A and B are shown apart, each in its own frame.
Chain A
């Protein structure tokens, strides 16, 4: 049965798939950028923007090709031979789970380029900066379309290096420390993840390759079936490896310490991408890889994930209350918000998975916007020390209003996007999947709900200190402090609109993700 399926799949699709164009268009852009002389700043910017826009255009084309009535199935798939020695194949495809995240990436990247138009972080060098962003984009998009573990891993790692350089070169004063910490943490997680992938490869059943050999497989769509025979103990260890690999990226509670440093030191655009897309690679990994392939192990680990998630919610919130730096505060709020997402995932229910994906997208939009705002605040005040700020609404009213909206969305106000990640996450914990400890998850639910109060506390307190009141003497007559400028409007307005629209019409996303979630859970037999 399995063999026949594999044979059918192996012949499928061509390399010149829309998804291939989507993934590699930014890479082509990066090559073009490399050919442009360093001093030609305007040309570099235009090419970078054009690349992201063309990629986004391909994304729009994919949207038109995507069959929303069948969002549960993998679409636009291709399955071609790639590294035959280990039977790693070029398998790509998208469904209702990856589509929203791809669209999020395609939205965030052009906005980042637009924002960088006038805000190129020191030490400048737009050529290197934009090239790295393009490579980063390929890595992110590739991770979301890859359906082969090795392919996924490659893209996952492609993301790492550009980010390392973005933080290490264009970052703040402590950039060396932060970038190395980021790199080591993620690499450590990746190493464990790779070991887990290999173990999965060797312990799962074999399939018949197109060349007629019996080989193990890295195919994500087949592994849920192939991995059924793995012994319980081994499965637990494999899951633990993936757990740590993805958990570092999310980041989950004990592995989160790289995040505040990375965020604080990263240039604005780096922070935005990190928060909006990179963190989602971790949660996406849980939903796409770890849980469907090893559902029984996931069930065993779920309480641990849930507990760590809730610790993250409370711990992240408490850390927020103690922060004196605006960016660091937002970074810790990411820890808390991703805690909600992980709690939702740990319930192993359709509600939870939907909530998680919604939470991922919403968090991407909202925290992305918050980091943009933090960056612009720094630009104007040359500091992010909260105690020195104040009166933003007075000096830059529009910016203050947008920040107000972002803050409200971030604390989960119904009617804005954040709510639909948070509320269903809490809801899903009431009734976790069969076999999970109901009492435990209901306790987690209550603690998570208390986290929403803390979220209101730290976010509004931040807002009060930054936006309300009157500016301190230091900044009162500073001519640098102006309201939102054109590039900022272009970069922020789409986020603002989407936050409101997604908050009012959650069906846009739920109706896409739901079929895919149901299929995934059905596949996993949870």
Chain B
């Protein structure tokens, strides 16, 4: 076993390193010079970052190599989990061992593999399953139930490892200057370390009980860091608000964990066990529904979903690097991660495929709109970013809510980077602008901070979903998913999306040729156009609102411009093996979901066909392959190999659809409205207000 693979079984090292760093800084930090305190933190995170890179490589090896379907030995072979009812106890691993007979060809119902698996199962095992690495020991026993303490490594968690350690490292480094000579430099770094440890613990947890621990601990760190300057009541109020609002959602999480635990036989909190149960035909759908709704309560507070989003803007009272790390990139996506991790529970409980009321998608979509709209009326640069975070979190949740698992997780990944960079940029701006965050007092900073200006611009464009930046790819996925899967509600999401990020929207419905289009986008060059921003916003919004189901506008927008390739590729299939193992209620006939063409996994219905189209035959064939779906393929691989650079190196990456035949007249006919919309997008307006306004 090489080092990378072995590291997969030693995942506990990462949180342990950070926890030690926390203890060291806390206990002896005061006796060290300032630079040494931060150096300890930075060194610890750097080690973790390197180790997580190793784990990423190890996981990629595992996915691509021949050993992917083997269970990795953890050196704790004497550990025996509770036998799951109706299943023979397995000798060589816990739920990592797929139970082929009972569930299907691709049987590990993590969100990732469940989503991908359900799709691929229909294609007769085109993609082989990769068994997650789970190493667990018995934590304690109550009654006859053994509680396991374990770490789990799969594509989703290595991706999170990369995000958490990567951004944490950057934030640690950035903070060296940002909080220099701060009254509580030691505490600041101690909390950063504790936060990183908790977050790593959370994403590596193999069971919901541990996840709850990590979840609350990151909340504690958030509390401590929001209230970093607690001398002012405003800050401690914000900290309290954040903690207590989260606590409200945590009631849901707590009860949800309990309900799902009992629903699944009261034997184990293991996420695979719960997911497996949720996908098994024997699942009690009522309990699952209640459990999923309760769990979503936790998501609502932690990931800033409407109506519990209110704490997040206030959380900006903390130091800006903290906002970047905790309240933009990592902690707030814990809720999204929860859905992704327990996806089968949400899938089965809320009937993501079959329900007529897509609760998760609806809340996500609503949050997207609410967050984006509220961002317009902020003068504080950090609050704009906070509301945009809310909006983006809404996107992720919406994506998961419409079945676009990969897209949601991918957006989590990309968003973390550009949003963190935006916050760090905002921190620099405030330091340059005499510690103000008020954008009314800024303007023309481009002249004085050219580098920050450029990075901010790039991130803004990414946030706005502009090609070729990361946000473009991930948002595009989500819209594809919403468009294909969410039925009537999809329109609402488009409304929200179009408001904030119209380009991708138009591109989606227009031609499927973003690269062509975006190459010719006129960039805003003149400060005089700033005045147009607010008007444009209003106009943009009003244009979106009529897009609700039933209105003629919506029909004309959606009906005429939906990419035909997508539509044809999503033709209903006969019930597949996947379909038949879903709960009976979701196994209804495809025709009952009028707008959603794919019966079981809507968004991936299109993905599947697209994948085969892209991989089997390059896009030179007569029928134009839907470009949007081709990129889905790339992001599936992104999920397993979460480095943006790896996209290019992946063999399956088909590249932009070079041979496309869309008429260019379509592109140009759209241009004026398109440009206007883009001009009015929320992040863009932020950018202008900060960088272009004259003093």
Residues of A at the B interface (CB closer than 8 Å) are 349-351, 354, 391, 393-394, 408, 413-415, 419, 423-424, 426-427, 430-431, 445-446, 449-450, 452-453, 456-457, 460-461, 464, 467-470, 505-507, 510-511, 514, 518
Instruction: Give the A-B pair count, Cβ closer than 8 A.
Output: 94
Known contacts: A424-B142, A461-B240, A506-B139. The answer to whether A453 contacts B227 by CB under 8 A is no
| Complex Cα gap A518–B145 (Å) | 12
In the complex, the 3 A-B pairs of residues with the closest C-beta atoms, listed nearest first: A507-B140, A414-B213, A350-B143
Write out the residue numbers on chain B whose beta carbons fall within 8 Å of the beta carbon of A507.
138-141
The smallest C-beta distance from A110 to any residue of chain B, in angstroms, reads 24
| Complex Cα gap A349–B142 (Å) | 10
Known contacts: A431-B266, A460-B243, A468-B227. The answer to whether A415 contacts B217 by CB under 8 A is yes
Q: Is B469 an interface residue (CB 8 A)?
A: no
Could you pull out 22 A-B pairs where Cβ atoms are within 8 angstroms?
A349-B143, A350-B142, A350-B143, A351-B143, A394-B231, A408-B220, A414-B217, A419-B216, A423-B254, A427-B258, A430-B259, A430-B262, A431-B266, A452-B247, A464-B236, A469-B236, A505-B140, A506-B139, A507-B138, A507-B139, A510-B141, A514-B143
| Complex Cα gap A467–B223 (Å) | 14
Contact check, A415 vs B216: say whether CB atoms are below 8 A apart. yes
Write out the residue numbers on chain A whose beta carbons fall within 8 Å of the beta carbon of B236.
464, 468-469
| Complex Cα gap A419–B215 (Å) | 13
Interface contacts beyond A408-B220, A452-B254, A461-B240: sample of 11 additional A-B pairs, CB < 8 Å, sorted by A: A393-B230, A415-B216, A426-B258, A430-B258, A446-B255, A452-B251, A464-B240, A506-B140, A510-B141, A510-B142, A514-B143
Contact check, B216 vs A460: say whether CB atoms are below 8 A apart. no
The smallest C-beta distance from B21 to any residue of chain A, in angstroms, reads 17
Contact check, B255 vs A449: say whether CB atoms are below 8 A apart. yes
Interface SS majority for chain B: helix
Contact check, A426 vs B262: say whether CB atoms are below 8 A apart. no
Q: Is B248 an interface residue (CB 8 A)?
A: yes
Contact check, B254 vs A426: say whether CB atoms are below 8 A apart. yes
Q: Is B476 an interface residue (CB 8 A)?
A: no
| Complex Cα gap A431–B140 (Å) | 20
- Contact among B212, B213, B250, B262 for A431, CB-based, below 8 A: B262
- Contact among B141, B230, B251 for A514, CB-based, below 8 A: B141
Known contacts: A350-B143, A468-B227, A469-B231. The answer to whether A413 contacts B258 by CB under 8 A is no
| Complex Cα gap A453–B254 (Å) | 11
Q: Is B518 an interface residue (CB 8 A)?
A: no
Write out the residue numbers on chain B whose beta carbons fall within 8 Å of the beta carbon of A427.
258, 261
Contact check, B217 vs A449: say whether CB atoms are below 8 A apart. no
| Complex Cα gap A417–B139 (Å) | 15
The smallest C-beta distance from B19 to any residue of chain A, in angstroms, reads 10
| Complex Cα gap A445–B262 (Å) | 14
Write out the residue numbers on chain B whose beta carbons fall within 8 Å of the beta carbon of A460.
223, 240, 243-244
| Complex Cα gap A424–B231 (Å) | 37
Contact check, A453 vs B233: say whether CB atoms are below 8 A apart. no
- Contact among A354, A413, A423 for B220, CB-based, below 8 A: A413
Write out the residue numbers on chain B whose beta carbons fall within 8 Å of the beta carbon of A350.
142-143
Write out the residue numbers on chain A whose beta carbons fall within 8 Å of the beta carbon of B250.
452-453
Contact check, B213 vs A449: say whether CB atoms are below 8 A apart. no
The smallest C-beta distance from B98 to any residue of chain A, in angstroms, reads 29
| Complex Cα gap A419–B213 (Å) | 9
Q: How many residues of B contact A (CB 8 A)?
A: 34
B183 and chain A: residue at smallest CB distance: A394
Contact check, B141 vs A511: say whether CB atoms are below 8 A apart. yes
The smallest C-beta distance from B307 to any residue of chain A, in angstroms, reads 15
| Complex Cα gap A510–B239 (Å) | 34
* CB within 8 Å of A: which B103-160 residues: 138-143
| Complex Cα gap A22–B450 (Å) | 75
Write out the residue numbers on chain A whose beta carbons fall within 8 Å of the beta carbon of B143.
349-351, 354, 514, 518
| Complex Cα gap A43–B216 (Å) | 47
- Contact among B141, B239, B247 for A453, CB-based, below 8 A: B247
Contact check, B254 vs A449: say whether CB atoms are below 8 A apart. yes
| Complex Cα gap A510–B141 (Å) | 7
| Complex Cα gap A349–B143 (Å) | 9
Write out the residue numbers on chain A whose beta carbons fall within 8 Å of the beta carbon of B243.
456, 460
| Complex Cα gap A391–B230 (Å) | 9
Known contacts: A415-B213, A423-B254. The answer to whether A456 contacts B244 by CB under 8 A is yes
Write out the residue numbers on chain B whose beta carbons fall within 8 Å of the beta carbon of A413.
216-217, 220
| Complex Cα gap A511–B244 (Å) | 33
| Complex Cα gap A33–B250 (Å) | 52
The smallest C-beta distance from A289 to any residue of chain B, in angstroms, reads 22
Write out the residue numbers on chain B whose beta carbons fall within 8 Å of the beta carbon of A453.
244, 247-248, 250-251
Write out the residue numbers on chain A whose beta carbons fall within 8 Å of the beta carbon of B220.
408, 413
Contact check, B254 vs A469: say whether CB atoms are below 8 A apart. no
A464 and chain B: residue at smallest CB distance: B236
Write out the residue numbers on chain A whose beta carbons fall within 8 Å of the beta carbon of B261.
427
The smallest C-beta distance from A88 to any residue of chain B, in angstroms, reads 34
The smallest C-beta distance from A97 to any residue of chain B, in angstroms, reads 14
B229 and chain A: residue at smallest CB distance: A468
Chain B 62-101 near chain A by CB (<8 Å), digits 1 or 0:
0000000000000000000000000000000000000000
* CB within 8 Å of A: which B216-242 residues: 216-217, 220, 223, 227, 230-231, 233, 236-237, 239-240
- Contact among A431, A446, A456, A514 for B142, CB-based, below 8 A: A514
A414 and chain B: residue at smallest CB distance: B213
Write out the residue numbers on chain B whose beta carbons fall within 8 Å of the beta carbon of A470.
231
The smallest C-beta distance from A277 to any residue of chain B, in angstroms, reads 24
The smallest C-beta distance from B222 to any residue of chain A, in angstroms, reads 12
A510 and chain B: residue at smallest CB distance: B140
The smallest C-beta distance from A496 to any residue of chain B, in angstroms, reads 12
Most buried by A among B227, B233, B247, B261: B247
Write out the residue numbers on chain B whose beta carbons fall within 8 Å of the beta carbon of A354.
142-143
| Complex Cα gap A110–B258 (Å) | 39
A455 and chain B: residue at smallest CB distance: B247
Write out the residue numbers on chain A whose beta carbons fall within 8 Å of the beta carbon of B141.
507, 510-511, 514
| Complex Cα gap A467–B212 (Å) | 27
Write out the residue numbers on chain B whose beta carbons fall within 8 Å of the beta carbon of A467.
230
B259 and chain A: residue at smallest CB distance: A430
| Complex Cα gap A450–B254 (Å) | 10
| Complex Cα gap A143–B243 (Å) | 40
Write out the residue numbers on chain B whose beta carbons fall within 8 Å of the beta carbon of A450.
251
| Complex Cα gap A394–B139 (Å) | 39
Contact check, A468 vs B230: say whether CB atoms are below 8 A apart. yes
Write out the residue numbers on chain A whose beta carbons fall within 8 Å of the beta carbon of B142.
350-351, 354, 424, 510, 514
| Complex Cα gap A430–B216 (Å) | 22
Contact check, B258 vs A445: say whether CB atoms are below 8 A apart. yes
* CB within 8 Å of A: which B233-286 residues: 233, 236-237, 239-240, 243-244, 247-248, 250-251, 254-255, 258-259, 261-262, 266
| Complex Cα gap A514–B138 (Å) | 14
Write out the residue numbers on chain B whose beta carbons fall within 8 Å of the beta carbon of A391.
231
Known contacts: A426-B254, A449-B255. The answer to whether A511 contacts B248 by CB under 8 A is no
The smallest C-beta distance from A388 to any residue of chain B, in angstroms, reads 16
The smallest C-beta distance from A37 to any residue of chain B, in angstroms, reads 44
Write out the residue numbers on chain A whose beta carbons fall within 8 Å of the beta carbon of B248.
453
| Complex Cα gap A516–B76 (Å) | 28
| Complex Cα gap A268–B191 (Å) | 32
Chain B 192-216 near chain A by CB (<8 Å), digits 1 or 0:
0000000000000000000011011
- Contact among A393, A414, A424 for B212, CB-based, below 8 A: A414
- Contact among B138, B217, B237, B247 for A456, CB-based, below 8 A: B247
B212 and chain A: residue at smallest CB distance: A414
| Complex Cα gap A430–B231 (Å) | 43
| Complex Cα gap A344–B119 (Å) | 44
Write out the residue numbers on chain A whose beta carbons fall within 8 Å of the beta carbon of B217.
413-415
Most buried by A among B236, B244, B258, B266: B258
Write out the residue numbers on chain B whose beta carbons fall within 8 Å of the beta carbon of A419.
213, 216
Write out the residue numbers on chain A whose beta carbons fall within 8 Å of the beta carbon of B266.
431
| Complex Cα gap A449–B141 (Å) | 23
| Complex Cα gap A385–B259 (Å) | 42
| Complex Cα gap A356–B107 (Å) | 39
